[in-house]
Amino acid sequence: MKQILKSAVLASLMLTGASGAFSQAAMAQDSGSIIAGLAVANLDAVVANTNAFRTAQQQRPTTYKPQFDQVEVRKKQIETQLAPLVDKFNKDRAAPAPNAAALQQQVQVIQGIQQSGQQELQRILQPVAYSEAYVTEQIEAKLDEAIKAAMAKKKVSLVINPQAVVAANGTAYNLNQDILNELNTLIPSAQLVPPAGWEPREVREQRAQQQAQAGAAAPAPAAAGAKPAPQGR
């Protein structure tokens, strides 16, 4: 959950550009000798380069403009609130005999405002984070089908992640573009705005785990008709 919201904050600063460049770089692999039956695929890069994902990235700043605008306003307000406190701290610290206890208290106040401000920005951007997670899950739902189709067409029996390759005499066949083509056919576009009440997979899994733990910790109900154990005298 925290990671999802953190990515939303970063998205407010970098809506496009760097992420796209990274994805394009990740899609690229050296072309060399092909090992029969073996292929390499960077699935994260494939998903990020699908038409559905890229179109959603372009649409999101417009669809969620109120949230992005609100974040910019609050960021400036928080910075304005912090500026005099930081100036005072720097001035007091530079004094001939600074009061260590007073400085520590000022630091705690500044950090408290920063932390609460960050949490507020994350709450504002939660719909943006959920939108990206929703689009990604829609594409990933078709990923297995796309991989199998690409493998069948290229007569590949094993697909591995590039990070799993330590060294090789030749470069395994790059299946990225083939999987990407299949995904673009299977899901040419994705729904940008999640339905009401929808939550990302990470949140759903965390909730299910918490419920399972709570169920395991709960005492088992007494059997019907069971008599209480006799008390000692």
**pLDDT one-digit tens code per residue, 187-230:** 999 999 999 999 999 999 998 988 888 888 777 666 555 555 55
- Mean pLDDT (the chain, rounded): 84
Per-residue pLDDT at 224: 57
Per-residue pLDDT at 24: 54
Per-residue pLDDT at 17: 41
| Integer Cα distance of 122 and 116 in angstroms | 10
The H or E element that residue 102 is part of is helix 100-124
User: Which 8-state DSSP code applies to residue 38?
Assistant: E
Q: Once rounded to an integer, what is the mean pLDDT over residues 45-69?
A: 98
- For helices 51-63 and 176-186, give the axis angle rounded to 10 degrees: 60
For the chain, give the longest Cα–Cα distance.
85
Strands (E), the chain: 38-40, 158-160, 173-174
Q: Beta-carbon neighbour count of residue 223 at 10 Å? A: 7
In a domain, 47, yes or no: yes
Residue 34 has pLDDT above 90, yes or no: no
Higher-scoring residue by pLDDT: 212, 138: 138
In a domain, 175, yes or no: yes
In a domain, 223, yes or no: no
Per-residue pLDDT at 176: 94
In a domain, 64, yes or no: yes
Per-residue pLDDT at 168: 54
Per-residue pLDDT at 13: 38
Phi, psi of 193 (to 5 degrees): -100, 125
| Integer Cα distance of 40 and 163 in angstroms | 9
Provide the domain limits for residue 80: 2-212
Task: Decide if 146 contacts 49 (C-beta within 8 A).
Answer: no
Residue 165 has pLDDT above 80, yes or no: no
Reported as a pLDDT band with limits 50, 70 and 90, residue 180 is: very high
Torsion over CA of 71, 125, 140 and 188, rounded to 10 degrees? -50
Per-residue pLDDT at 225: 58
- Residue 139's nearest CA partner among 48, 58, 62 is 48
Q: Any bridge partners for residue 188, and if so which?
A: none
Residue whose token pair is 């189709």? 149
Reported as a pLDDT band with limits 50, 70 and 90, residue 37 is: confident
User: CA–CA distance from 44 to each of 41, 53, 59, 151, 223 (Å)?
Assistant: 9, 11, 20, 17, 51
Reported as a pLDDT band with limits 50, 70 and 90, residue 129 is: very high
Please tell me the number of Cα atoms within 13 Å of 202 on its side-chain side. Answer: 11
Domain count, the chain: 1
Reported as a pLDDT band with limits 50, 70 and 90, residue 145 is: very high
In a domain, 95, yes or no: yes
In this structure, what token pair is assigned to residue 33?
A: 């000798």
In a domain, 78, yes or no: yes
| Integer Cα distance of 149 and 180 in angstroms | 11
Please list, in sequence order, all residues whose beta carbon lies within 8 angstroms of the beta carbon of residue 67, skipping any fewer than 6 positions away: 124, 125, 127, 128
Per-residue pLDDT at 10: 40
Q: Once rounded to an integer, what is the mean pLDDT over residues 18-25?
A: 47
In a domain, 228, yes or no: no
In a domain, 220, yes or no: no
Q: 5-14, 21-30, 159-168: which range is least confident on average? A: 5-14
Per-residue pLDDT at 189: 97
